[in-house]
């Protein structure tokens, strides 16, 4: 037990700012997951904070952690403390909006990333101990912990799309541990969320992108 706690503080303690790992390390991981799914540094980010995040984000360093994650910094990156200045220098405009809307979890953030026509909306919750969960992506409900590698395929809802992805994975001997397909309405866009036992590398992601009807393909690990 002692080792477990020492390890947690090795990761988030000395560098991360603030008294609570849920307000710092978890927040940083939400930001970094959003950045990974967006695929590059966004030009503009709106961050809507709910619950205790909205009340304490400045004092607890949640703003610094979220922006550090958006800059693709790991939780122990020494640049994390300067993330707000670095974002400004690199041309990433960030606005924070406090909401009093009730949410299911007290530490909830909605991140809207934009760059030209490219837009991504992600909802993340910080569940304590530096862990986080992504609960919504572009309006699709999901549950991603980021603990296992997850292949996210955003695609047109059409016949054969799921089979095409599954066939490519099978051909490369990638085993599917868990798969969820959600759509807003028949024939519009859909999202495949696929937990895999092996890593889906960039070449394999590119092969999936080339399939008809694919909108975006990314791996969250």
Q: Is 3 exposed, middle or buried (0-12, 13-18, 19+ CB in 10 A)?
A: exposed
Does residue 136 share a domain with residue 55? yes
How far apart (Å, rounded) are the C-alpha atoms in residues 66 and 209? 29
Residue-range definition of the domain harbouring residue 139: 2-144
Beta bridge partners of 133: 125
Handedness of CA 101, 23, 104, 55 (dihedral sign): negative
Report the sign of the C-alpha dihedral through residues 133, 137, 139, 141, in that order: negative
pTM for the structure as a whole: 0.81
Q: Are residues 7 and 98 in the same domain?
A: yes
Q: Which of 1-10, 16-25, 30-39, 73-82 has the lowest mean pLDDT?
A: 1-10
The band of 184, judged by pLDDT with boundaries at 50, 70 and 90, is confident
> Domain holding 136: CATH number?
3.30.1330.90
More confident residue, 18 or 210: 210
């Amino acid at each position: 037990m002692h080792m477990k706690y020492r390890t947690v503080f090795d990761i988030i303690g000395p560098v991360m700012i603030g008294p609570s790992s849920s307000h710092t390390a978890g927040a940083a991981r939400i930001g970094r997951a959003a950045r990974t799914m967006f695929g590059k540094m966004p030009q503009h980010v709106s961050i809507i904070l709910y619950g205790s995040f909205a009340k304490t984000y400045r004092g607890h360093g949640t703003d610094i952690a979220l922006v550090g994650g958006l800059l693709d910094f790991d939780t122990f990156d020494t640049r994390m403390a300067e993330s707000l200045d670095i974002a400004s220098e690199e041309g990433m405009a960030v606005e924070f909006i406090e909401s009093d809307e009730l949410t299911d979890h007290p530490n909830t953030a909605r991140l809207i990333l934009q760059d030209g026509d490219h837009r991504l909306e992600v909802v993340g919750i910080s569940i304590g101990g530096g862990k986080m969960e992504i609960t919504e992506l572009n309006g699709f409900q999901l549950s991603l912990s980021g603990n296992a590698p997850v292949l996210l395929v955003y695609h047109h809802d059409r016949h054969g799309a799921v089979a095409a992805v599954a066939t490519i994975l099978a051909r490369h001997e990638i085993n599917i541990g868990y798969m969820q397909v959600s759509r807003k309405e028949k024939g519009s866009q859909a999202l495949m969320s696929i937990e895999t036992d092996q890593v889906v590398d960039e070449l394999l992601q590119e092969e999936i992108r080339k399939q008809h009807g694919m909108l975006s393909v990314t791996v969250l690990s």
